[in-house]
Amino acid sequence: MKPMGPIPAGFESEAGMLLIGGRGAAALADEAGETPLFVYDATMIRNRIAALRAAMPADLGLHYAVKANPFPHLLDLMATLVDGFDIASSGELALAMEAGMGGDRVSFAGPGKTDRELEAALHAGITLNLESEGEASRVLALADRKGIRPRLAVRVNPDFELKGSGMRMGGGAKPFGIDADRAGELARRVIGGGAEWRGWHIFAGSQALDPEAIMAAQAATVALAARLSDEVGSAPPLVNLGGGFGVPYFPGDVPLDITAIGTALGETLAQRADILKESHFALELGRYLVAESGVYLTRIVDVKSSQGERFAVVDGGLHHQLAASGNFGTVVRRNYPLALANRFGALPADEPVTVVGCLCTPLDRLGDAVALPPAEVGDLVAVFMAGAYGASASPASFLGHVPAIEILVGED
Ligand SMILES: *Cc1c(COP(=O)(O)O)cnc(C)c1O
């Protein structure tokens, strides 16, 4: 038996059936007409954001990183709940606009923005978080040609890292942002070039579960923003503090203490340098806002054994939910939280079962030797923590199976 990650709080059952947004999992699958499907619970997202806002300083902005989950109905909801969207492609720009996000509330980060993307961003009036000197030159030239005043921020590759983060995106040589020691010079250049100065974007990492590390990174981020602003001699309208708030996926992972983080951030901001006194601050979060709200439901097609090991073969797999298979940014494969949705809370069988997807590759393993109730063909497996980096972050075309259905429930 190998352990699984913790099932997120708030999932209940009725007569043994997992409820998602108050609806039975089997009924949701029947209504969708097919499995596999992703179900996102709007109420959980609302509650999550309300709790986060309550814990954070009152005037702190909250941005959503669209890449975590760009499902259009979910974006429509997010547009009503957050202060801004952070996007990373022209495809995400189109989605943000369709969700009704005003251009003044969208910022575009990410390396490798093409001229076509820069142009679309200029026309939409969104903020470009510059990733390099070369990108700055291209956008200034394009803006000049189009007669549009660009809104520009500088993404800084910080000279520190977010310790213990699952994916480090700052500290050391990085393709993201401009090294802190050259960021001031670039800011002076874009301001001198006539751009509307939007401020700093400082993103130090992702998926951190250590509140102390987040607090330290936030304090270092505010200090860096102050140092750079002094160097430039200009107050930034916005300091995007990045995010990095992690969620518990694996055995032993503990949810973040956001109250402690909010209190520390409040103190950091209260003591900020004079040049930042009029600046706004924002967090940009992806998975923290949506991961727990999502459940991937996939049906058992076959149950078999091999050399004494039991396998449950499902109609989904890593082509929809790559992260649960352990092939998305993890070094050692560990189990996501899983359950049998139609026997939720029932006692596990004596024997462990390995839940594998329908792809013809040994990588396609959703649960390795896990304790589940006796599994039969037709049962529904629920893979939790599927609200972020699921459908859109998985190789949907691999092996030619159909894409997963996605639905948002709990909307009133
Ligand atoms: C990926 C990314 C995010 C979102 O990260 P999460 O871990 O999902 O919160 C935010 N900002 C930037 C710049 C990113 O690249």
What's the 285 CA to ligand 1 centre distance in angstroms? 6
The token pair at 128 is 């470009």
Give, for ligand 1, the residue of 168, 285, 290, 389 to mutate: max count of ligand atoms closer than 8 Å to Cβ: 285
Q: What is the DSSP string of 96-115?
A: HHHTT--GGGEEE--S---H
Tens digits of residue pLDDT in 123-168 = 999 999 999 999 999 999 999 999 999 999 999 999 998 887 765 5
At residue 169, does pLDDT exceed 80?
no
Distance CA 293, CA 356 (A): 23
Are the beta carbons of 191 and 233 closer than 8 angstroms?
Answer: no
Distance CA 352, CA 306 (A): 13
CB distance 290 to ligand 1 below 6 Å: no
CB distance 68 to ligand 1 below 6 Å: yes
CB distance 320 to ligand 1 below 6 Å: no
Distance CA 400, CA 409 (A): 28
Cis ω for the linkage preceding 36 (within 30 of 0): yes
What's the 165 CA to ligand 1 centre distance in angstroms? 12
- DSSP summary character for residue 278: T
Which region among 35-44, 163-172, 215-224, 383-392 has the lowest average model confidence (pLDDT)? 163-172
Please choose, from the candidates 193, 200, 163, 194, the residue with its C-alpha nearest in 3D space to the C-alpha of residue 178.
200
Say whether 328 sits in a helix, a strand or coil.
coil
The CATH number of 70-285 is which of 3.90.226.10, 3.40.640.10, 3.20.20.10, 3.40.50.1820?
Answer: 3.20.20.10
The CATH number of 12-40+291-409 is which of 3.40.50.1980, 2.20.25.90, 2.40.50.140, 2.40.37.10?
Answer: 2.40.37.10
In percent, the amount of the chain with pLDDT more than 70 equals 98
Position 228, amino acid: L
Please choose, from the candidates 411, 396, 394, 322, the residue with its C-alpha nearest in 3D space to the C-alpha of residue 75.
411
Position 117, amino acid: E
Tens digits of residue pLDDT in 1-37 = 999 999 999 999 999 999 999 999 999 999 999 999 9
CB distance 393 to ligand 1 below 6 Å: no
CB distance 177 to ligand 1 below 6 Å: no
Confidence at 171, pLDDT banded by 50, 70, 90 = low
CB distance 286 to ligand 1 below 6 Å: yes
The residue contributing the CA closest to ligand 1 atom 15 is 110
Q: What is the pLDDT of residue 331?
A: 84
3-state secondary structure 25-57: HHHHHHHHCCCCEEEEEHHHHHHHHHHHHHHCC
At residue 173, does pLDDT exceed 70?
yes
pTM: 0.96
Distance CA 233, CA 43 (A): 44
Confidence at 172, pLDDT banded by 50, 70, 90 = confident
Confidence at 320, pLDDT banded by 50, 70, 90 = very high
Residue ranges per domain, the chain? 12-40+291-409, 70-285
Which is the closest atom of ligand 1 to the Cα of 246? 7
DSSP H or E stretch at residue 155:
strand 151-157
